[in-house]
Amino acid sequence: MRLDGQVIVITGASRGIGEACALELAEQGAAVVLTARNEQAVKELAKKVEAKGGKALGLAADVTGYQALENVLEQTLEHFGKVTGLINNAGVIEPIAFLDNTDPTAWAQTIQINLIGAYNAIRVFLPQFTAQNQGLIINISSGAAFNPLEGWSAYCASKAGLAMLTHSVMLETEGKKIRTYGFGPGVVDTDMQGLIRASGINRVSQIPREHLGPATDVAKAVAYLCSEDASDLVGELDIRHAILRQRVGLQAL
């Protein structure tokens, strides 16, 4: 599998799953556009990709700002001449608290980042994909989209909304050469899991760190979804998907 010729934008690319995906996609030959609120982090990651022989562009962008994402598209086209894919990875877990003790501003901000941020990115890039009759959208989902967990009301609601957004895109692009996935990475050893463990709320916080999956496995799966070989897997799936794991070369569960 190679991704030569692809230009893929990754939101929330400064660390964790986003960073791992950037490194894996670049290794597979894709040019990557790395976006996050932390400009220094994405520019340093872009340099890391280039030092390994890859092509990268680091851009500061807050997904809650529609114009910021318009600027990402504009600069991507200016720098690489095209764009072939979008990975909606930007997301937050907090506030982790029981609903009657949540901060309303923080709760709304989670919806703004996880759901409206993904909408903003899709709204910016989808017309480009439609015009060129080619495109890829991967929305990083979660088991929390389908299974409620105490203390995660904002996160669960935002990911459930993202799942419906994914299905809406699939429905509205039917018959076009635009592949859309909602991909659940499982419980992954990232900074977010550190926040979850520290909270002590719900069963996920009790999972020992040594039982968490590596971000590199997620990145390999996402890279495969970026290839045409994965066209039969469009829709909702997660890291436990047996066929996906077999194709990627991950150990069977």
Condensed to tens digits (0 to 9), the pLDDT of residues 156-208 reads: 999 999 999 999 999 999 999 999 999 999 999 999 999 999 999 999 999 99
Whether 73 is covered by a domain: the verdict is: yes
CA triple 56-7-137, angle to 5 deg = 120
Whether 2 is covered by a domain: the verdict is: no
Q: What percent of the chain has pLDDT over 90?
A: 98
What pLDDT does residue 19 have?
97
Whether 196 is covered by a domain: the verdict is: yes
How far is CA 223 from each of CA 29, 99, 154, rounded to the nearest angstrom? 10, 36, 29
Q: What span, in angstroms and rounded, lies between the C-alpha atoms of 185 and 164? A: 18
User: For all residues of the chain together, what is the average pLDDT?
Assistant: 97
The range of the structural domain enclosing residue 217 comes to 7-248
Whether 51 is covered by a domain: the verdict is: yes
Query: What's the rounded mean pLDDT across residues 115-119?
Result: 98
Q: What span, in angstroms and rounded, lies between the C-alpha atoms of 142 and 163? A: 9
Token representation of residue 112: 């703004």
Whether 44 is covered by a domain: the verdict is: yes
The 3-state DSSP class for residue 67 equals: helix
Catalytic residue positions, numbered: 155
Q: H or E element: which one contains 105?
A: helix 104-111
Number of domains in the chain: 1
Whether 1 is covered by a domain: the verdict is: no
The band of 1, judged by pLDDT with boundaries at 50, 70 and 90, is: low
Name which of 137, 142, 210 is nearest 168 in CA terms: 137
The band of 3, judged by pLDDT with boundaries at 50, 70 and 90, is: very high
Whether 147 is covered by a domain: the verdict is: yes
- CATH number of the domain to which 240 belongs: 3.40.50.720
Whether 253 is covered by a domain: the verdict is: no
Contact between 102 and 152 under an 8 Å Cβ cutoff? The reply is no
Q: Give the tens place of pLDDT for each residue, 61-105.
A: 999 999 999 999 999 999 999 999 999 999 999 999 999 999 999
Q: H or E element: which one contains 32?
A: strand 31-36
Which distant-in-sequence residues (6+ apart) come within 8 Å of 140 by Cβ? Answer: 17, 87, 88, 89, 91, 183, 184, 185
